[in-house]
Structure 1
Amino acid sequence: MHYRRYLKRKNYSNHTIKNYLNRLKHFLVWLPVPVELAEPVHVKHYIDTLLEKRLGPQTINGHLVAIRSFYYYLQDEEELEVANPAVRGLALRLPDPLPRHLQGHQVAALFSAITKKRDLAMFMLMLRCGLRVEEVANLTLGAIDYGRNQIMVRCGKGAKDRIVFINIDAADVLAAYLQIRPSTPEQRIFLVEKGMYKGKPISVRGIQKRIEYYSRKSGVPVSCHQLRHTMATELLNAGADVVTLQYLLGHRRIKTTMRYARLSNQKARNDYYLSMTKVEEKSGTTVTWNVRC
């Protein structure tokens, strides 16, 4: 399909291309008129249909992006004189909740419930290195550089490569898993350990099912992405720079990383008192209050 090649030329990841094609398929099956006759009113009705299916605003906006991209393709590549029905202004307003992270006692409770060396290594990479679940699933043996204590994350979100650093506790549990990992030509690190797919790379959904299992076992409500949120929050509270965190997390926009800065109230507290101390030292005065009881 030419549209698939069009998306590949834009350097979209395979995951993104799959989502675009799937969302476009649903729209074209629903569309009551030929593709070239679609108008904004049709897209509005389609949004209503998705809302009736109880899809969230972010998911629905993803459908709009896929539809809009397809019509750009028709205009630019196929040179068809068609209007793009997915006009600007149709997107749903998104809530802006703060990222949820784990408290120290929750981290301890969760990891005390993890007994498998493979699972411990997977989730420590999320907690200490900030890897996404897809990045853990696709991690290969050649990406680990123990000499430099770093990991090359290839084709992360947005098909971008980046280097992350591995702390000693994460390095130790990863090394412990690699010692018992079956010898196999498969380069991806984390493998299925039983069943008909034994020895095959574990899937993203397989990893998510493991964290769901440990969440029930430990009584800690947690997802894979919350481990990444926890790393980001802990680094900011410890004084890490937002730009550094942006690089480590692989965020394209600093605005995304700044959401963690809003959450990092401990850093704000520390910065406030440190700065206020400097203000007082510079002015040479300390304000005191005469309060009558």
Structure 2
Amino acid sequence: MKRSRPPTSAGGAPGAPVRPSPQAARLVAEFLEWLTVERGAPETTRAAYAADLDQLVRALAARGVDMGHPEDVDYRHIQAWIGQLYRQGMARSTMARKLAAARTFFRHLQRRGLVDANAAALVRNPRQERRQPRILNVEEARALLGADPASPAAAPKSPDAARLRCRDLALAELLYGSGLRISEALGLDLDDIQLAEGMARVMGKGARERMAPLSDASLHALRAWLEERPYLAAVDCPALFVGARGGRLDRREAARRIARLCREAGLDVSISPHALRHSFATHLLDAGADLRSVQELLGHKRLATTQRYTQVSLERLMRIYDQAHPRAKKA
């Protein structure tokens, strides 16, 4: 029979906050170190795993199960944790991500011989909601990227404001023109951009490097930004895209600036940076691009990940048909 150890709490009294054991903290820290050193995971991935595993360790401790003795954990404990997250109203996609973190962690413990089986492997993923990403149509993309710089909404208040807008347009062109993830675009350094060859060296998920082609519009926007960048960038900053203080531009500010471009373009929606990547893939497929080629351009490891865009394209095609064809059923 599995043995359970009493939970460790901060004050030892019933209902007090549960504190993981030192052994549990050590196992998680060793896993995170392996994830960074052996797998080359970026800091964002490490931080996500750390948060998810800390939540799991605390949830198990509250049930009297110490992750410091992982052989005591079985699939029912993991299942109970996922059930608890469901009752809290957590998004199913988030629950699936946390479960994937637990599976990877236990697989690592299994390789080290600390457990005989992967306790999380027998727990099924929550059924996912069928949410399709919000994308721009072609006309909206043209409006966003071709907004009149002299329009009142876009009129810069200072030279630095004009430079930041130049940066924002270059970033948007890169996201839509090359289909980069926002983390990939913001992770680019100056020497990753090869203007003469029209290519960018991109570090994708799982430390997988790929070469991404740059559109003519992207090249034009990047050249304009590179002329303005020295006025904003700190001397020792290698980043392609920098913020107002001279350091590497962060994701939150990038999202705000893309939303601002949407307002300046007169769009009735504000889209996320990632929606430009979705738009890139969907518009390529709509134009007849090969699915395998789109997979390579997006840097997807599995073709199944790219195939969801075919569903988006099909649904859009059916909507156009229903609206336009005289023999189609009208909503």
Under a length normalisation based on structure 2, what TM-score does the superposition of the two structures give?
0.72
**Do the aligned partners of 1:212 and 1:223 also contact (CA within 8 Å) in 2?**
yes
> Which among 49, 55, 66 is matched to residue 34 of structure 1?
66
User: Quick one: structure 1 residues 95 and 30, their matched pair in 2 at CA, closer, same or farther if it must change by over 3 Å?
Assistant: same
> What is the identity, as a one-letter code, of the residue corresponding to 1:105?
E
The question of 1:18 aligning with 2:43 is answered no
Per-residue deviation at 1:54? 2.4
**Do the aligned partners of 1:151 and 1:163 also contact (CA within 8 Å) in 2?**
yes
2:322 corresponds in structure 1 to none
Greater displacement, 35-44 / 260-269: 260-269
> What is the identity, as a one-letter code, of the residue corresponding to 2:46?
I
Per-residue deviation at 1:265? 4.3
**Do the aligned partners of 2:79 and 2:123 also contact (CA within 8 Å) in 1?**
no
Alpha-carbon distance between aligned partners in 1 of 2:259 and 2:85, rounded to the nearest angstrom: 27
Greater displacement, 79-88 / 234-243: 79-88
**Do the aligned partners of 2:39 and 2:206 also contact (CA within 8 Å) in 1?**
no
1:288 corresponds in structure 2 to none
> What is the identity, as a one-letter code, of the residue corresponding to 2:114?
L
**Do the aligned partners of 1:237 and 1:266 also contact (CA within 8 Å) in 2?**
no
Map 1:150-229 → 2, pairs under 5 A = 150-154=199-203, 156-182=204-230, 184-193=235-244, 198-216=245-263, 218=266, 219-229=268-278
Runs of 4+ displaced beyond 4 Å: 265-269
Map 1:1-293 → 2, pairs under 5 A = 1-8=29-36, 9-31=38-60, 32=63, 33-35=65-67, 36=70, 37-77=72-112, 79-81=113-115, 83-111=117-145, 112=147, 115=154, 116-154=165-203, 156-182=204-230, 184-193=235-244, 198-216=245-263, 218=266, 219-265=268-314
Alpha-carbon distance between aligned partners in 2 of 1:202 and 1:88, rounded to the nearest angstrom: 41
Alpha-carbon distance between aligned partners in 2 of 1:145 and 1:185, rounded to the nearest angstrom: 20
For residues 122-156 of structure 1, give each alpha carbon's deviation from its aligned partner in whole angstroms, at most 9, with x where no partner exists.
111011111110011111110111111111112x1
Per-residue deviation at 1:226? 1.2
**Do the aligned partners of 2:175 and 2:181 also contact (CA within 8 Å) in 1?**
yes
**Do the aligned partners of 1:237 and 1:267 also contact (CA within 8 Å) in 2?**
no
Under a length normalisation based on structure 1, what TM-score does the superposition of the two structures give?
0.81
Greater displacement, 17-26 / 259-268: 259-268
User: Quick one: structure 1 residues 262 and 71, their matched pair in 2 at CA, closer, same or farther if it must change by over 3 Å?
Assistant: closer
Greater displacement, 141-150 / 92-101: 92-101
Higher relative contact order (CA 8 A, sep 6+): 1
Unpaired runs of 5+ residues, structure 1, are: 270-293
Alpha-carbon distance between aligned partners in 2 of 1:190 and 1:15, rounded to the nearest angstrom: 18
Unpaired runs of 5+ residues, structure 2, are: 1-28, 155-164, 319-331
> What is the identity, as a one-letter code, of the residue corresponding to 2:208?
K
Alpha-carbon distance between aligned partners in 1 of 2:170 and 2:220, rounded to the nearest angstrom: 9
Alpha-carbon distance between aligned partners in 2 of 1:175 and 1:142, rounded to the nearest angstrom: 14
Secondary structure in 1 aligned to 2:188? coil
Alpha-carbon distance between aligned partners in 2 of 1:98 and 1:247, rounded to the nearest angstrom: 21
Alpha-carbon distance between aligned partners in 2 of 1:101 and 1:192, rounded to the nearest angstrom: 26
Alpha-carbon distance between aligned partners in 1 of 2:122 and 2:210, rounded to the nearest angstrom: 33
**Do the aligned partners of 1:242 and 1:257 also contact (CA within 8 Å) in 2?**
yes
**RMSD of Structure 2 on Structure 1 (CA):** 2.4
Identity %: 30
Secondary structure in 2 aligned to 1:233? helix
1:275 corresponds in structure 2 to none
For residues 172-202 of structure 1, give each alpha carbon's deviation from its aligned partner in whole angstroms, at most 9, with x where no partner exists.
1111111011252211111111xxxx00111
Greater displacement, 117-126 / 36-45: 36-45
